[in-house]
Amino acid sequence: MTGIQGRFRIRLGDFKLDVDFQLPGIGITALFGPSGAGKTAVLRCIAGLERAPGAYLEVNGERWHDDAAGLFLPTHRRALGYVFQEANLFPHLSVRRNLEYGWKRIPISDRQVAFDQATELLGVARLLDRSPARLSGGERQRVAIARALLTSPRLLLMDEPLAALDRGSKAEILPYLERMHEELSIPMLYVSHVPEEVARLADHMVLLEQGKVRAAGPLFDTINRLDLPLAHGDDAMTVIQAAVAGHDEQFRLTHLDFAGGRFFVARQPWPPGHPIRVRVHARDVSLTLRHQEHTSILNIFPVTIEELSEDNPSQLMVRVSAGGTPLLARVTRKSAAALGLRPGLTVYAQVKSVALME
């Protein structure tokens, strides 16, 4: 049986965690929610750092915790990697010996990730002889990630690995995480309270609220559900999977095609066929009844209105479908009334700006 099945009920001080989940055993799954939602608690239970009474946990066919059967594997006997918020490097060991710490402790036959592969993938090869005290925050976290990878984990747990870093270091690490996603087949659980990171990295997401699972599903279907808080407010967004279709050399544009249409963006270096995630903020999408000819906006597609929901007293969040691809648009109540927006109506979505997630 592939996938991760878990059930944890535990009281930690005033906080109560009560979750029951089934996650895919591949790709990156984001555990998303406000602070205090229980994201870290779930990760700690999965790692065995916290022991929830009566719990059950199975990871890709291997049972790690089943209190009903009296089974509880201690943390050091679970084939997992854990990246903490603080890198938690061993200050008395050099970077090299930090990396070797876990690597030496697994049987040689279990070593799926080679030492040079991990140091190259995370760009830490030139730091090997340094002491952790002499690394920057971003370097320290990259070493911590490489150290976890070198135990060839069957599940990689990341607890807000970017939270303790400044903006520059965050931007420095994200491309490494994307490379890991592309080049390794290790399933990852990624805890975050930042929608940006989730939109950029995750394939699947779990929304946690007050110790409970509020929603779970593939990223593209979950991030725009109007019944969830994620699809409301200024940062509400959709993520669309697109691919390079071609380039317009005269105007220096790149065409990105997705199921419901085509985006025109500034010229990109990638060849046709290159997949790319496109993020569209709801606040950058407007709706018109007719196709506007006289506008500077290039990205206009026909869409069908699926659902409307109040965002705040003066604005509505509208979910539309562009040939099956969901998109969010935020409009004022006044405009919605003037245009007669209602489910089933076909209108045109004008997208003012998009962000490419790479």
Footprint on this chain of other proteins (rule: CB under 8 A)? 47, 49, 74-77, 80-82, 84, 86, 88-92, 101-102, 105-106, 131-133, 144, 147-148, 151
Cα–Cα distance, 311 to 102 (Å, whole number): 48
Cα–Cα distance, 351 to 353 (Å, whole number): 6
Strands 28-32 vs 188-192: parallel, antiparallel or unpaired:
parallel
Give me the phi and psi of 333, to 5 degrees please.
-60, -35
Q: What's the closest the beta carbon of residue 314 comes to other proteins, in angstroms?
A: 47
User: Cα dihedral sign for 272, 273, 275, 276?
Assistant: positive
Q: What's the closest the beta carbon of residue 96 comes to other proteins, in angstroms?
A: 14
Nearer to other proteins, 74 or 275 (CB): 74
Measured between its terminal Cα atoms, the distance across the chain in Å is 33
Q: What's the closest the beta carbon of residue 10 comes to other proteins, in angstroms?
A: 16
Nearer to other proteins, 92 or 290 (CB): 92
User: For 286, how many CA atoms within 13 A lie in the half-sphere containing its CB?
Assistant: 13
Nearer to other proteins, 83 or 199 (CB): 83
Nearer to other proteins, 157 or 320 (CB): 157
Nearer to other proteins, 78 or 181 (CB): 78
Q: What's the closest the beta carbon of residue 151 comes to other proteins, in angstroms?
A: 6
Cα–Cα distance, 318 to 285 (Å, whole number): 10
Q: What's the closest the beta carbon of residue 104 comes to other proteins, in angstroms?
A: 9
Beta-sheet strand order (sheet of 15-23)? 15-23, 4-12, 56-59, 62-66, 71-72
Q: What's the closest the beta carbon of residue 42 comes to other proteins, in angstroms?
A: 15
Nearer to other proteins, 40 or 238 (CB): 40
